[in-house]
Amino acid sequence: MSDNQQGVLVVGDTTIDLYPVDGTSISPGSRFAWHIGGTATNAARWAASLGTETSLVTNIGTDVMGELAAQHLAGGPVDTTHVTRVDATSPLTLYVAADDDEQWNAWVAGSCYGFTPPADPATLVASYEWVHLQGVTLPTEVNQTAVRRLAEAAAESGTRVSFDLNGRTNQWATPDAYRQALRDVLQHCDLIFAGTDDLAVAGVDRTPVGVLELLPPNGSAMVFITDGPAETTALTVDDGEITEQVTVTPPSATVATTAGAGDAFAGAVLAARDGGISDLEELAAIGNTAGAAAVATIGPFDADGSGLTADLF
């Protein structure tokens, strides 16, 4: 990192998330509350709300919901200089509660989902200490080439690369296709976030052994493997070998929805790393605390976009 690099550049998706007002039922005449979501936008707002200079690269539609989203983000702590208005509809997601689980319906096809690739990736990333990339924009039909080029440009310029796997079974024809796409990016990464479900989508073991399969033989990175309310496993990999490994149990939380927990974890850890914290166990605890705060409420960010704040570090 050079002296003129600072803050975090988060690159990825923005969605409009709809929740039934009563929290459960959907029927004719149901009322919905909307919140700005998307893995990248969630992570960016968490990092910014914890005091880190954060910029967002994403697309927002030109429809009514896109206009509202643009106004909402502009009033918040995240720098929106690199947000692109695209002449398309905004991607919508609908939360559906179930007795034993929760699910999402998404309307993404034909929308502005993803981000507009920068004309000069090297110039864009060069002024930041960190660039954080998202697995949901990794499929070929979204932004695969652009994600790979940003990772390569960042590594060449001395910008540290962070990546959240965010595996979705409906985005990949086979686990092998997902594994190959991940390997193309993870070889450049300094910080990796992987849920056990992500590793399952990649068809590898849901443990540090599985992560090592995705890294080059001489790869080095700090890795966090999350598993919902179960223990988080954090490890340091140097030249292909695990040199440190700890497990940290998340604090107990009343779960309103699990949506955004992983994004909160990543955003909080990015803020902590940008602030100079490097202790593996402390970072895992910070991420767990943010994740627990995120699951406790639906739409955790205030209407003015200021975000949910907590004494994490």
Question: Taking residues 268-279, what's their average pLDDT?
Answer: 96
pLDDT of residue 297: 64
- The rounded distance, in Å, linking the Cα atoms of 311 and 176 is 41
DSSP string, 179-233: HHHHHHHHTT-SEEEEEHHHHHHTTS-SSHHHHHHHS-TT--EEEEEEBTBS-EE
CB 12 within 8 A of CB 45: no
Q: How confident is the model at residue 106 (pLDDT cuts 50, 70, 90)?
A: confident
Inter-helix orientation angle 261-274/280-295, to 10°: 140
pLDDT per residue as tens digits for the range 162-216: 999 999 999 999 999 999 999 999 999 999 999 999 999 999 999 999 999 999 9
Q: How confident is the model at residue 256 (pLDDT cuts 50, 70, 90)?
A: low
Q: How confident is the model at residue 84 (pLDDT cuts 50, 70, 90)?
A: very high
pLDDT of residue 306: 38
Q: How confident is the model at residue 19 (pLDDT cuts 50, 70, 90)?
A: confident
Distances (CA, A) of 166 to 226, 239, 285, 298: 11, 25, 20, 20
- Check residues 251 and 205 and name the one with the higher pLDDT: 205
- What single-letter amino acid sits at 89? T
Q: What is the mean pLDDT of the chain?
A: 89
Q: How confident is the model at residue 242 (pLDDT cuts 50, 70, 90)?
A: very high
- Check residues 313 and 281 and name the one with the higher pLDDT: 281
Residue 301 has pLDDT above 70, yes or no: no
pLDDT per residue as tens digits for the range 128-173: 999 999 999 999 999 999 999 999 999 999 999 999 999 999 999 9
- The rounded distance, in Å, linking the Cα atoms of 6 and 129 is 5
